[in-house]
Structure 1
């Protein structure tokens, strides 16, 4: 490999991950509608990339030292995205739409509304859509602001012998993107874009319509938050949220048939010279496919009903006292987590409840349980992170509601995000306080638990929970730890205190074992692997003889398989039915494996700008369980690919049989715990 770098670029690596999502949409053995949903996920991911990462790349490019590198990265990004967008269109037009047609589902795509359903579409236009339509003449001296990621139609027309350009909004944020109706045994699915286009002669009477082109502007999503300021942080964030959709444009999407003179007129009118102008498909916001209105069961994944681990338990706290256990979502039901908070709310022996909340579900039963607990006289404390990107408004809403009910709310810490997912309940048993805790790799969010693979440890171990209580005491101080406080944790690994140092120490132990010829190995599963100190230690381990297996879903800056650098490092990426989200850390430790779970990826933000918690799993049976799950994922040949030295996805070949780890994990856990 020529000119190989020591670190892969994070953004290019991420785009390869999104390309892996696209590959799943291309697989003929994936159910047809699930393939459509993968296209939706790809589209949604790409929108967020342009909102969050493109402004960063441009900002780097404006610095003299970073200009050359940034231009090269941006050029590579554009080329990758263009190739992926071409692949996206081919999958949709050549595979999925014909496949739906064979199922008597006609997705009308880039063609006039069919005569068979023309009357129904017209009625829908007048009965529903017209209530939300706004006409914006392009000739305005001061153009009306076009909102972030909203859909618009740029109409070129001649009316009363005058050339006009007008923008019509497509109200997909107000109504469903699709209208579906049945005719002669075929279900027609129409984009509302085409229904509006059909009625342009009515909207612009006595006009000649020369063309109508769907456009979309993506804007910078960063909030302008000062780390130190006077006043209520919730108020400040609410003010900034209201400004978010008015940020600088980072991308303009337009269809391939938009005439260049009209494009230049539009760009000049809206001052979009600094945005990436990208020729995409004829439709934008295809993330809306996730709400596709026709869903025959045989076109979806077969159901995998989650099984409860606590359905027959009379007291959850007694169950935890007896032995630690782990709930693996979405294979196991989330009912144990909900019950943890619900029992705390009504159990008269419970006196105190503490929890962190990073992304709160919109209709959160957990938040409601905390409210009930406070009303029932418990001391309830919730640390609510208000800086969780794109969830700020929802978190603020719930924080205010809980606070009004008597829950003590602790807000964000300046210069830090609290990304830990932990909870603690104190129970008065015969005059003595007994602690019970939750440690999770994912958010306490019952909505995401249905599609995210995560691991939640239920424990009553005094040592762990004593340190967890110390963490909550620290969080109440709302500040970064002082140097003398950094040694307070010895069992928990907590970012800003000891997390990075302890992981480095464990890798050093593996290096020492390998040099002595003792059993040594590292297997780590993460969402993102970016931070150079940790990667350097993995390179050092590889050079010392340690075999390193990495399962990294998204960003991975490791360059694997390079002689005298990373020849013993292998990297896999899994994209499948569920979003791989749990973090697992396995160190061979001379035949006495150490296993950790946690909230922390190995990224700069996780290690240096967040409070994260990773926690040991000491129960031998649970360690064996996690090692089994990790091994299944490493052996995946159906949904896993190798990550190459240039961050690219490399298919696995030569396998006589195909093994899908998510199916294997579900069957393994069902046999072990299912009733």
Structure 2
């Protein structure tokens, strides 16, 4: 199949980020939410530079993968275009709308005289204790510019005309980034770096300030871990984390206007020769806009209180309810309390003897982990499969793993080259010698913090055949240090598990729709994913489209499939959703001649999910729950999806 039938992975990632940026341009979105979308865009772009740019730079240097040749230049061009769009949204839309509310954001302009007294007081009373300066001369300096930290380059001339460069840190990690100041009832918002810039003459009283420019350096974030490592994995990872922010620079972000001689001098002194030099605006690290100092309900989305989805009488338990019927929680629309209660009951139920769970991204103050430690202290056998390689969550997961181990929880780590990304938990009860399982399977992390703004589905079930398969999977994970061999194979009839049967089963499900289309039997495929990249599965969807199967895709982020191409994908549509919540659930619906099969789970269709992770997708059997998921997915294919879903679930009777 020709390579042109697959859209570029990195440009698709950047395309999703542009969708985030477009939300900031919508007049229908409240002003504070628009500013937060700008923050999300900036944060996403930082991650792209930390994670993907090192790869593209390496490919550009060595050209080992012909599919990626030139992607570095294409990505840079797209980023530059989006950055111009970012600045235009602030200048032409955000600032005027704030001004109408008598809120004056001092952006790319001098501090007005009305508030200079307050700015000086702030500098001396709050800021001065946290800043330092470093002289950059023509020789190498020992100073190391930290990852994603803000600095000001100050160009000075002394009394005899000699020029020198000074770097000043912008202590945004210690102080707030934006300050709200009031004068005669008018509100002003000022950047920390502008407060420092206004007071520079105090720091350099005997010099002439020739120029002041904001800069930032982004460094490679990938951990260099291989199968040859020696020692305990937590110790190795902790050493790696200590050096993560000291990787090579991938981006040197500068405010325009730095004289070339000074720029080259800075690049040489800070060892930034490999970095991509990017001219941005005056302000960097605009992910800090997520704490923009603007109060008032009229500036934000109307509140959607979490809905109760499961009603339990005071004399009953959640476990008893699960034993009677499957339950489904749709977060963040519905309360996460029942998920916390699942672990709390498992920790204290007199019949529960064993608990198994996977942990990929754990909340900073995880009540789930606290329940697991309580269970171990209560004498239950608790096994937690902790993924230490969850990017940017490694340190938090290590912290919790140590605490759980100290409490008596058996900790199992995945192998270096095989992540455990599945979101599952299992409680094993023994009543009069009879084993009984109660399980939890989800599309998202077991994390009560992200459950407030990630849309996910969580199934609570006592389907014994399916949960016995889950027990078998935990048995494999508990003892294995690598991908399954032939002797490790498990006969999964209900679950779809990456490394075992997931890709093969999905191909078979698509093929059945192809066969039904050829026979004139009802057919169709609807799939919701975060990312779609893996070429074998994309090729199978193309084959289904060519056979006449109608395919509806909801893809939040990366999408390498090209829809609507005559003779290839004219029967495929792709919907993208960017709204107040982050779409995160994975749902797979196959028409199956009118007898729909519905699966949900942790697996995107990316190379990493299919080939180097343990993922679990699970069937949805309960007719009532199937109707709810079908309604949600149908709403997601329409405009104003999240508001409509909230209203639908609010009107749906609780269990």
Scaled by the length of structure 1, the TM-score of the pair is 0.94
Query: How many residue pairs are counted as aligned between the two chains?
Result: 649
* Aligned match for 2:600, one of 597, 601, 611: 597
2:650 paired residue number: 670
SS of corresponding position for 1:673? coil
1:290 paired residue number: 290
SS of corresponding position for 1:112? coil
Cα separation, 2, equivalents of 1:339 and 1:202: 58
Q: Residues 285 and 560 (structure 1 numbering): CA distance in 2 closer, same or farther, change over 3 Å?
A: same
What whole-Å deviation, never above 9, does each CA across 1:132-185 have from its counterpart, x for those lacking one? 212111115324000111100000011232211000000111121122232211
Shift of 1:65: 4.6
Cα separation, 2, equivalents of 1:341 and 1:258: 57
1:423 paired residue number: 425
* Aligned match for 1:72, one of 64, 70, 73: 70
1:256-335 superposed matches below 5 A: 256-313=256-313, 314-335=316-337
Shift of 1:674: 5.6
1:156 paired residue number: 155
1:653 paired residue number: none
1:491 aligns with 2:489: no
* Aligned match for 2:532, one of 523, 529, 532: 529
Gaps of 5+ in 2: none
Cα separation, 1, equivalents of 2:281 and 2:188: 21
Cα separation, 1, equivalents of 2:133 and 2:302: 45
SS of corresponding position for 1:91? helix
Cα separation, 2, equivalents of 1:158 and 1:71: 45
Cα separation, 2, equivalents of 1:182 and 1:513: 68
1:232 aligns with 2:232: yes
2:100 paired residue number: 102
Q: Residues 70 and 261 (structure 1 numbering): CA distance in 2 closer, same or farther, change over 3 Å?
A: farther
8 Å Cα contact 2:59/2:69 also seen in 1: no
2:91 paired residue number: 93
Shift of 1:465: 0.7
1:612 paired residue number: 615
Cα separation, 2, equivalents of 1:323 and 1:413: 36
SS of corresponding position for 2:5? coil
What whole-Å deviation, never above 9, does each CA across 1:539-597 have from its counterpart, x for those lacking one? 11111111111110110000111122111111111111111100000000000000000
Shift of 1:374: 1.4
Cα separation, 2, equivalents of 1:278 and 1:520: 49
2:25 paired residue number: 26
SS of corresponding position for 1:136? strand
Give the root-mean-square deviation of aligned CA atoms. Answer: 1.6
Cα separation, 2, equivalents of 1:87 and 1:105: 23
Cα separation, 2, equivalents of 1:624 and 1:390: 37
What whole-Å deviation, never above 9, does each CA across 1:609-647 have from its counterpart, x for those lacking one? 00000000011111111111111111x23xxxxxxxxxx
1:650 paired residue number: none
1:654 paired residue number: none
2:34 paired residue number: 35
SS of corresponding position for 1:5? helix
Q: Residues 466 and 548 (structure 1 numbering): CA distance in 2 closer, same or farther, change over 3 Å?
A: same
* Aligned match for 1:622, one of 606, 622, 625: 625
Cα separation, 1, equivalents of 2:63 and 2:349: 62
1:656 paired residue number: none
1:490-569 superposed matches below 5 A: 490-569=493-572
Gaps of 5+ in 1: 638-659
8 Å Cα contact 2:251/2:277 also seen in 1: yes
Shift of 1:449: 0.5
8 Å Cα contact 2:136/2:269 also seen in 1: yes
What whole-Å deviation, never above 9, does each CA across 1:412-448 have from its counterpart, x for those lacking one? 2231000000001123334433211100000001111
1:646 paired residue number: none
Cα separation, 2, equivalents of 1:306 and 1:673: 14
Cα separation, 2, equivalents of 1:246 and 1:505: 46
SS of corresponding position for 1:476? helix
Cα separation, 2, equivalents of 1:112 and 1:412: 54
1:5 paired residue number: 4
SS of corresponding position for 2:172? coil
SS of corresponding position for 1:87? helix
8 Å Cα contact 1:414/1:478 also seen in 2: no
Cα separation, 2, equivalents of 1:246 and 1:460: 48
What whole-Å deviation, never above 9, does each CA across 1:286-309 have from its counterpart, x for those lacking one? 000011122211010000111122
8 Å Cα contact 2:517/2:548 also seen in 1: yes
Shift of 1:487: 4.0
Cα separation, 2, equivalents of 1:104 and 1:143: 47
SS of corresponding position for 1:551? strand
8 Å Cα contact 2:148/2:285 also seen in 1: yes
8 Å Cα contact 1:485/1:497 also seen in 2: no
Cα separation, 1, equivalents of 2:104 and 2:435: 63
Cα separation, 2, equivalents of 1:602 and 1:145: 40
Cα separation, 2, equivalents of 1:463 and 1:101: 62
SS of corresponding position for 1:62? helix
8 Å Cα contact 2:60/2:72 also seen in 1: no
